[in-house]
Amino acid sequence: MKPAPFEYFAPTSLDEAVTLLEAHGEDAKVIAGGQSLIPLMNMRLATPKYLIDINKIEGLDQIREVDGHLEIGALNRHYMIASSPLIQKKCPLLAEAVNHVAHRQVRYRGTFGGSVAHADPAAEFPTVVTALDGEIKLVGPDGERWTKPEEFFMGYLMTTIEPNEILTEIRVPVTPAGSGFSVYEFARKENYFAIAGAVCVLSAEGDRVEQLALGLLGVSPAPVKPREAEELLRGHVFSDKRVEEVAKSVMESVEPDSDLHASEAYRREMAGVVTKRALQAAFSMAIKGGQG
């Protein structure tokens, strides 16, 4: 199929883009990489009357370190995230996550902000931002506002972004040097959407876990940050028994759905499995001095 007819705009400033959104409301969609929106339009699951292409707006592809955080512009392509020396050094989990995103063609067109705004619960970027307690910047006619992932992600492909707002930037904390990190996913084929996945960053002093950030994907309607599970390991000696307790807590906290790929029970079980493997890989890296 082909998309329904639409009118196309290519604003050159953020103000112009917001004005267009304000004028056309819910009939308009923002497009950048198009890797999520265009397939939906081709299947006529999305039928916007107006497309607002933000690729010509300058300043939305910056990557900079400010006050212990990385500020990452929404127009950074996936491959730019993976190849950025600053991200590789200061937030290596984010760079690692790119290796699990779809295929090469998607990574060269898809954008960081687009992935987060699309809010697929099986996608890596929304889960990493959630795990790291990042912040999401939205700009609309009333100015800018920052929101946290637990406020932003409402459910499957649902967020709190208003029809007249644009996601322009995402802020994540700098990872402590020497931390271990891991992205572990289970999928039917490499680089397909994960049936279950876990991302984590972990720092340790000897056998004791000092800091931990954990996120789950593919096992709930939105990305999951299992705070109670994190507390079971943070400040404790890393052990098989302790990791089993964390995995059990994760399995109890997720809300998977059954579909043609996996049952609810299977996804719940796999949530525990991927959690254990991600934690083990991150801890092993951390005790060797990390790569952060």
Q: What's the confidence (pLDDT) of residue 261? A: 87
> Which tokens hold the place of 8?
């196309």
Q: What's the confidence (pLDDT) of residue 172? A: 98
Mean pLDDT of the chain: 94
| Residue 144 pLDDT greater than 70, yes or no | yes
| Residue 151 pLDDT greater than 70, yes or no | yes
**pLDDT band, very low/low/confident/very high, at 291 (cuts 50, 70, 90):** low
Picking from 55, 178, 64, the residue whose alpha carbon sits closest to that of residue 110 is 55
> Which tokens hold the place of 223?
């990305």
Instruction: Enumerate the CATH 3.30.465.10 domain ranges in the chain, comma separated.
Output: 63-173
Q: What's the confidence (pLDDT) of residue 191? A: 67
Q: What's the confidence (pLDDT) of residue 203? A: 96
Grouping H, G, I as helix, E, B as strand and the rest as coil, residue 71 is strand
**pLDDT band, very low/low/confident/very high, at 134 (cuts 50, 70, 90):** very high
| Residue % of the chain over a pLDDT of 90 | 88
**pLDDT band, very low/low/confident/very high, at 71 (cuts 50, 70, 90):** very high
Query: Over the stretch 278-288, which tens digit does the pLDDT of each residue have?
Result: 999 999 999 98
- The class of domain 63-173 in CATH terms is alpha beta
- The superfamily CATH assigns to domain 180-285 is CO dehydrogenase flavoprotein, C-terminal domain (3.30.390.50)
Instruction: Enumerate the CATH 3.30.43.10 domain ranges in the chain, comma separated.
Output: 7-53
> Which amino acid, 84?
S
- Pair 125, 116: CB distance under 8 Å: yes
Q: Give the Cα separation of 81 and 100 in Å (integer).
A: 13
Q: What's the confidence (pLDDT) of residue 216? A: 98
The count of residues in the chain is: 292
Q: Give the Cα separation of 202 and 16 in Å (integer).
A: 42
> Which tokens hold the place of 109?
């067109």
User: Which architecture characterizes domain 7-53 according to CATH?
Assistant: 2-Layer Sandwich (3.30)
Helical residues (DSSP H) of 198-289, grouped into ranges: 227-233, 240-253, 264-287
Q: Give the Cα separation of 89 and 76 in Å (integer).
A: 17
Q: Give the Cα separation of 92 and 128 in Å (integer).
A: 11
**pLDDT band, very low/low/confident/very high, at 102 (cuts 50, 70, 90):** confident
Grouping H, G, I as helix, E, B as strand and the rest as coil, residue 151 is helix
State the pTM of this model: 0.95
| Residue 125 pLDDT greater than 60, yes or no | yes
| Residue 273 pLDDT greater than 60, yes or no | yes
Q: What's the confidence (pLDDT) of residue 292? A: 45
Instruction: Enumerate the CATH 3.30.390.50 domain ranges in the chain, comma separated.
Output: 180-285
Query: Over the stretch 73-82, which tens digit does the pLDDT of each residue have?
Result: 999 999 999 9
Q: Give the Cα separation of 69 and 54 in Å (integer).
A: 25
- Pair 182, 200: CB distance under 8 Å: yes
| Residue 270 pLDDT greater than 70, yes or no | yes
Query: Over the stretch 182-234, which tens digit does the pLDDT of each residue have?
Result: 999 998 877 678 899 999 999 999 999 999 999 999 999 999 999 999 999 99
